[in-house]
Structure 1
Amino acid sequence: MRHVNQSVPAPPPARLRVGILLARRFTLAAMANFIDVLRLAADEGDRSRPILCSWRVVAPRPGPIESSCGLVVEAAETLGDPTRFDYIAVVGGLIGDNQWLSSEAEDWLRRAAAAGVPLIGLCTGAFILARAGLMQGYRCCVSWFHREDFLELFDEMHPVSDQIFVVDRDRLTCSGGASTAHLAAFLVDRHIGRAAARKSLSIMIVDEAMAAERPQPGLPSDLSANDPLVKRALLWMQQFPETPLTAERLARQLGVSRRTLERRFAEDLAVSPAEAGRRMRLAQVRALLARGEKSVTQIAAETGFSDVSHLIRVFRAAEGVTPEAWRRGRAG
């Protein structure tokens, strides 16, 4: 009796292949959220087989890479040919001298860019791409929390900090945290389909995919806005405390009329944009006073007050005491 050799056909190649580069002390949540969306979109249910998507952690040499929380991820492959991936994602982490990639990894990213492979910056991965000279001429998303850190290093750039991620041609950057899941869902939607993207987020207990333009959450202010336009306006105000934006300029930046902006503020917060800006700047004054590192004169200059006497008048009207008295009360 003859045995017929019935070979099993090879599975089709993945529709979405992503290489992952981890910086030293990378942010574990940013990496995990991004990969989990790919994992859940790749197979039936949550079986995790890399069928429709594939993802590989790569490094100049295989071995462990420590995250910012101390947990370790193993790099399974060396860098090799970057064109074997549809995208290469760089996961950043703690900001500082030890956060960057090796020069070998940066050179590999430049070769990938030259070959036309789109690059992704997750969390502070945008810092790494900018340091490698790969964000020149591109819009770049940076968390509002790290915007000043970014400008200290790359003062010629104008980072976007009023939305959760930015897609600019073959550069994709996001603010970190949960936004990495939404950026991954954007890729899944683009290459596999909307149903797969929705399935991934649903299993992760995320209500819906957020568009890139969704305002970043976590505004450090007691102003709690529901209107997306108002949230974006507040984020713009937060980014420029030393030079307060007029309602006219803010409206122009957001692409609406001043009348529309003022109406939306009144409906959502029952205050004008100017009053919201004043409250935000006072919140920043209190935060700086509590740290105790800067003089009242320095704080006035950094928070958009014309001089110390102006700050003292506004602060006393709001708090009932001078800034120095408020600080002494906190210390006591």
Structure 2
Amino acid sequence: MDKRIGLIVYDDFQILDLAALTVFEFANSLQQKIRYQFASLSVAGGMVKSSMGVAVDTQPIGFGTYDTLMISGALLIPKAMPALEAILKESASGKTRIASICTGAFVLANAGLLDGKKATTHWVWGRHLQEQHPAVQVDEDKIYVKDGSVWTSAGVTACIDLALALVEADLGSEVAKSIARLMVVHHRRTGGQSQFSVMAELEPSSDRVRDALKFAKENLHKDLTVEDLAEHVHWSPRHFSRVFHSQTGMAPAKAIEKLRLEEAQALIEQGHSSISRIASLTGFGDEERMRRAFLRTYGHSPKAFVHLSRLQKDNVYLS
């Protein structure tokens, strides 16, 4: 039996969120029979204008029943929409799977559907979501979060990750992987993956500091020192450390540790489970050193992340 997917939009929604429906379109193309029917929806139906001015034709939400309702996001926090919130609350009381993209989480929160649940949104708005809705357990650094039948995702291209996860829950991981390849998604991110990279977070203006970070990222398996990085960019260690700290806000050693943690987490996401092997590949050297870094930064050990990754592969989310 095919599933009905509805993407709910509203005035000034982010039009990129329509890409989520493309995932279900590709899912149909890979199956011998149609698995999904999908449509863009709004409370009243008709043309709805996106934030960039392009309008989308929609059907009224009450036109039919849906197995999954997805709420689009916007560039800003959506205003209260009592009619939509009432519809969502009623839908969630049945068997409908509810999902939000980006700031669509605020719509779900306004409807009370996130109270007591884990949720995420675009990292820019995570703190605002927590402040406005203290009953929500906000994790602003996740790509997507599943808590029961309610799913929430980060913003922008994370709508694709969310839709892929929904398809994986319905049709299995191999179908989801095939769709990712067809959509030229370089890496199908899992829910527990961070929304942004260490390289993007540091963002130094100096070409030499950026080159040093690139060098470090490519040589994490080595015993990197400040002297190694300084020599690579032809600066003295003292001058390099001073400029590095002024542009990134942290010491080189701390930045290298963050890069190693990010790489270790990526290896776990890819299916590596040997803690000693991961410690070796990422330059931590020994398991205890890596364990302390994980606990200090994430509050969980590497083994806990391995366990989480295995659960996610079985379509069970545990934070």
Normalised by the length of structure 2, the TM-score is 0.62
> How far apart are residue 156 of structure 1 and its match?
4.2
Identity across the alignment (%): 21
Where in structure 2 are there 5+ consecutive unaligned residues?
204-254, 267-291, 303-319
Task: List aligned pairs for 1:173-322, cutoff 5 A.
Answer: 173-217=152-196, 220-222=201-203, 225=259, 227-228=261-262, 251=296, 253-256=298-301
Alpha-carbon RMSD across the aligned residues, in angstroms, is 3.0
Query: Which residue does 1:239 correspond to in 2?
Result: none
SS of equivalent to 2:169: helix
Distance 1:130 1:229, change over 3 A: farther
Q: Matched residues in 2 for 1:248 and 1:226: separation?
A: 9
Task: List aligned pairs for 1:39-188, cutoff 5 A.
Answer: 39-44=25-30, 51-81=34-64, 84-96=65-77, 99-100=78-79, 102-188=81-167
Q: Matched residues in 2 for 1:230 and 1:44: separation?
A: 33
Residue 27 of structure 1 contacts residue 123 of structure 1 at CA under 8 Å; is this kept in 2?
Answer: no
Task: List per-residue Cα deviations over 1:78-126 (Å, max 9, x = no partner).
Answer: 4245xx3211111121324xx2363222111011011131210111111
> How far apart are residue 253 of structure 1 and its match?
4.6
SS of equivalent to 1:144: coil
Higher gyration radius (CA): 1
Q: Matched residues in 2 for 1:139 and 1:94: separation?
A: 22
Distance 1:126 1:19, change over 3 A: same
Between 214-223 and 191-200, report the one with greater CA deviation.
214-223
Q: Which amino acid aligns with 2:73?
A: G
Residue 120 of structure 2 contacts residue 126 of structure 2 at CA under 8 Å; is this kept in 1?
Answer: no
> How far apart are residue 138 of structure 1 and its match?
0.7
Q: Matched residues in 2 for 1:154 and 1:229: separation?
A: 33
Residue 10 of structure 2 contacts residue 42 of structure 2 at CA under 8 Å; is this kept in 1?
Answer: no
> How far apart are residue 149 of structure 1 and its match?
2.4
Query: Whose relative contact order is higher, 1 or 2, with alpha carbons under 8 Å and at least 6 apart?
Result: 1
Residue 21 of structure 1 contacts residue 89 of structure 1 at CA under 8 Å; is this kept in 2?
Answer: yes
> How far apart are residue 134 of structure 1 and its match?
1.0
Task: List per-residue Cα deviations over 1:138-187 (Å, max 9, x = no partner).
Answer: 10112221123223422443310222110111110000122211111111
Query: Which residue does 2:210 correspond to in 1?
Result: none
Q: How many residues align?
A: 223
> How far apart are residue 137 of structure 1 and its match?
1.2
Q: Which amino acid aligns with 2:52?
A: C
Task: List per-residue Cα deviations over 1:13-40 (Å, max 9, x = no partner).
Answer: 41x32111113211111x2221111111
SS of equivalent to 2:137: coil
Q: Matched residues in 1 for 2:58 and 2:260: separation?
A: 42
Distance 1:18 1:156, change over 3 A: same
Query: Which residue does 2:215 correspond to in 1?
Result: none
